Amino acid sequence: MALRALSTFPSLPRRFTRRDPTLTVIHRNPTRSIVCKSISTSEWTVSLSERDGFAAAAPTPGERFLENQRAHQAQKVVKKELKREKKKKKDESVRKVVDTSVSCCYGCGAPLQTSDVDSPGFVDLVTYDLKKKHHQLRTVICGRCQLLSHGHMITAVGGNGGYAGGKQFVSADELREKLSHLRHEKALIVKLVDIVDFNGSFLARVRDLVGANPIILVITKIDLLPKGTDMNCIGDWVVEVTTKKKLNVLSVHLTSSKSLDGVNGVASEIQKEKKGRDVYILGAANVGKSAFINALLKTMAERDPVAAAAQKYKPIQSAVPGTTLGPIQINAFLGGEKLYDTPGVHLHHRQAAVVHSDDLPALAPQNRLRGQSFDISTLPTQSSSSPEGDSLNGYTFFWGGLVRIDILKLLQALPETRFTFYGPKALEIHVVPTKTATEFYQKEVGVLLTPPSGKDQIQEWKGLQSHRLLRIEFNDPKRPASDVAISGLGWISIEPIRRVRDSEPRDLEEAEHEIRVCVSVPKPVEVFIRPTLPIGTSGAEWYQYRDLSDEEEEVRPKWYF
């Protein structure tokens, strides 16, 4: 219990002594003594402070202000810590940032290892120890990449969108998860699309991967288009289709990694738009990302010494989908920003996901596309099973063993209808009467109709299980009706009315305004109907540019070649 201030006690008589045990003497000074009686709980029922008003002094306004300031500062610190912990947990659960502390193969991005010879990233122990000793692990290429560079077909991706046959070391979903951190990064995205498989490789939901990051759209393999193709028409067609898909991009570039056409424009656009951000090359599997990066480094090396040095250790490029198995960091810019080659996004709806790995080379065109056209005048000699009439009705096309197209009968057939196939030369096209088509397929699949090829592949082949009925409308006799695009393979251009032997095309009022075909493909391969791609010399003749308003012209992305 607190005692009274000494100045408040009355003076005691000098004769007062310390013999009484209940008294306590406090010596204030040598000439004066102050005595205070001890207070026990049993004797006092009311506290001294309550009785006499001697509690702790109330805080002054200044003290209250300081106390409020301290509480406010403590609250801010707590909130900041909670926010930091929340962000840390979110980053740990979502982000998969490239770990630069783990040494990876510079060709495919797989982590280096010395235990499994057949797995990606394998390096013999002696080489690994030597390179590690001299801090040169970033200059090591794995055994799988060495085989790929010599033309061997070695797949490594399984699961939904992966490839059958051979060993499967990583799933397509795991590769896709390695890209999930992009939506949280500040990056510049260069999205690649294969012109031969435009719809199948477009990645319509790319924003799920990259978030709100800016995108430069790059169209690859334009050197495969037929001779005489007008790139002005192709560029306008790509912009129109991209706008309809509601994908906002900074610009569109038509490129060829083989001839380097258009690559210089992409390099200039990247330098202009990166603004201190890292650059990620993104696209579906086998659209040519690694080949594009090599072409980009070669172009940039002319004026950037950092890019010139990066050419020594560049990603491996091959015809095998899934060559790149992890993000590959490349020092390519003077400003210190990084260029990343990313694993391809493996899509289950492409033909490459349903054929055996041994048949993958047959799906990749190597030279310029040359359309194979069929109409009633080009069909083989009529037989007893051939349908009557002077049209394609009642006939079936087989595109290898992967696609079946049945021409359905209409009330008024169009004998001038022509079907032109654009795709890999390795897939032969056979035309048979629809009556005998099923029997023909069962007998010839794996023989005349390949892929699939090989006894093991044929036994595992599930056939053409997906059927889609297409109704293709047309309105102009001078223009093709539409393209039927097969995901991961190519497309068929349909021209319902054409000039035959210098005859005038039929009046639309005298013919049906739609064509009906049934397309059968393996599950889950997708089939698309799209505006006809204006290729060849005839494309520039019939292609029509759409009139744009001032507002559309302002927001519409520009294309470059």
- DSSP string for residues in 24-52: EEEEEETTEEEEEE---TTT-SS-HHHHH
Residue pLDDT, tens place only, 203-213: 988 998 899 99
Determine the pLDDT at residue 414: 53
pLDDT > 70? residue 27? no
Determine the pLDDT at residue 25: 46
Determine the pLDDT at residue 26: 47
CB count, 10 Å around CB of 260? 14
3 state SS of 224: helix
The domain 169-347 having CATH identifier 3.40.50.620: the answer here is no
Q: Which of 59-73, 162-176, 333-347 has the highest mean pLDDT?
A: 333-347
Neighbour-count burial for 511-525, b at 16+ CB within 10 Å, e otherwise: beeebebebbbbebb
pLDDT > 50? residue 93? no
Determine the pLDDT at residue 449: 95
Residue pLDDT, tens place only, 521-561: 999 999 999 999 999 999 999 999 999 999 988 889 999 99
- Provide, rounded to the nearest whole percent, the portion of the chain with pLDDT above 70: 79
Binned at pLDDT 50, 70 and 90, residue 197 comes out as: very high
Binned at pLDDT 50, 70 and 90, residue 48 comes out as: very low
pLDDT > 80? residue 252? yes
Binned at pLDDT 50, 70 and 90, residue 8 comes out as: very low
More confident of the two residues 329 and 389: 329
Edge-to-edge strand ranges of the sheet holding 251-254: 328-331, 338-341, 278-283, 187-194, 215-220, 251-254, 558-560
Mean pLDDT of the 157-163 span = 61
Determine which of 173-177, 403-407, 533-537 has the lowest per-residue pLDDT on average: 173-177
Q: Which of 59-63, 310-314, 466-470 has the highest mean pLDDT?
A: 466-470
Binned at pLDDT 50, 70 and 90, residue 161 comes out as: low
Mean pLDDT of the 35-64 span = 54
For residue 422, give both structure tokens: 């654009």
The residue ranges of every structural domain in the chain are 100-152, 169-347, 353-381+390-498+511-532
Determine the pLDDT at residue 92: 56
For residue 237, give both structure tokens: 């067609």
Q: Using CB atoms within 10 Å of the CB of residue 313, give its burial: 0 to 12 exposed, 13 to 18 middle, 19+ buried.
A: middle
Determine the pLDDT at residue 260: 96
**CA-to-CA distance for 353 and 368, rounded, in angstroms?**
24
Mean pLDDT of the 89-101 span = 49
The residue count for the chain = 561
Residue keyed to tokens 């005595």: 35
Mean pLDDT of the 388-403 span = 86
More confident of the two residues 10 and 79: 79
CA 424 to centroid of chain Cα atoms: 25
More confident of the two residues 491 and 497: 491
pLDDT > 60? residue 504? no
Interior angle at CA 217, CA 212 and CA 223, nearest 5: 165
**CA-to-CA distance for 552 and 555, rounded, in angstroms?**
5
Write the Ramachandran bin of 198: left for phi over 0, alpha for psi from -120 to 50, otherwise beta: alpha
**CA-to-CA distance for 73 and 77, rounded, in angstroms?**
6
Determine the pLDDT at residue 383: 61
Determine the pLDDT at residue 464: 95
**CA-to-CA distance for 140 and 210, rounded, in angstroms?**
30
Determine the pLDDT at residue 193: 97
Determine which of 72-76, 93-97, 212-216, 291-295 has the lowest per-residue pLDDT on average: 93-97
Determine the pLDDT at residue 261: 96
Q: Are strands 466-473 and 429-433 parallel, antiparallel or unpaired?
A: unpaired
Mean pLDDT of the 209-232 span = 95
- Provide, rounded to the nearest whole percent, the portion of the chain with pLDDT above 90: 47
Binned at pLDDT 50, 70 and 90, residue 9 comes out as: very low
Binned at pLDDT 50, 70 and 90, residue 271 comes out as: very high
Binned at pLDDT 50, 70 and 90, residue 151 comes out as: confident
Determine the pLDDT at residue 497: 59
Mean pLDDT of the 160-180 span = 69
Binned at pLDDT 50, 70 and 90, residue 514 comes out as: confident
Binned at pLDDT 50, 70 and 90, residue 165 comes out as: low
More confident of the two residues 248 and 11: 248
More confident of the two residues 457 and 156: 457
Determine the pLDDT at residue 340: 94
Provide the sign of the torsion angle of the four alpha carbons 274, 172, 289, 286, taken in this order: negative
